[in-house]
Amino acid sequence: MDKPTLRRHCLRIWRTLEREALAQQLVEVLLPWLAAGGFQEILLYHPLPHELDLLALRERYPARYYLPKVAGEELSVHPFGPLAPGPYGLLEPTTPPVDPGVLELVVVPGLAFDREGYRLGHGKGYYDRFLAGVRATTLGVVPEALLLAALPRDPWDVPVAHLATERGVWGVR
């Protein structure tokens, strides 16, 4: 299955999921893993309507949180703060950007992930370009229903180092 067809298929699956319950389960799974890793500088994401909303981590795990913002063809990193509508219907931070080098953990959403940490996104390449230059630990978050055996890959696709579902967190590379 090619990526555009797979994206449509995954979006259909997302619409059948109880996203709020899955997000709550995933937060519970992440809390001990975050504490064990001692992460203090964490890039989250503001969820699209079909994605898991993990922003509750901010109330449950003490750390400095950041959000990405589309800046041309790249993602910039901003301290969590006031939000305003940005491209693609995302709410984005209005705070000044910071050096991505401060990040210790990057939490990455996706339409689907495979068991080797590769991600199916929306096809714009923002996260792949960002992850190619980041030194932080990377964590893909995905419902178990969208953790696939394998995804089609392009040479520029960048896998995450860890995956988390409602069932647990594990390293993939």
Q: Domains for the chain: give ranges and CATH numbers.
A: 3-171 (3.40.50.10420)
Give the pLDDT of residue 95.
94
Beta bridge partners of 164: 141, 169
- What is the DSSP code string of 99-125? -GGG-SEEEE--SEEETTS-EE--SS-
Give residue-wise pLDDT tens across range 85-143. 887 677 889 999 999 999 999 999 999 999 999 999 987 889 999 999 999 999 999 99
Pair of tokens at residue 120: 């199916």
Tell me which DSSP letter residue 160 carries: -
User: 113: burial class by Cβ within 10 Å (0-12, 13-18, 19+)?
Assistant: buried
Give the pLDDT of residue 70.
87
Give the pLDDT of residue 37.
96
Tell me which DSSP letter residue 136 carries: S
pLDDT category at 23 given cuts 50, 70, 90 is: very high
Helix, strand and coil in the chain, % to nearest 5? 30, 30, 40
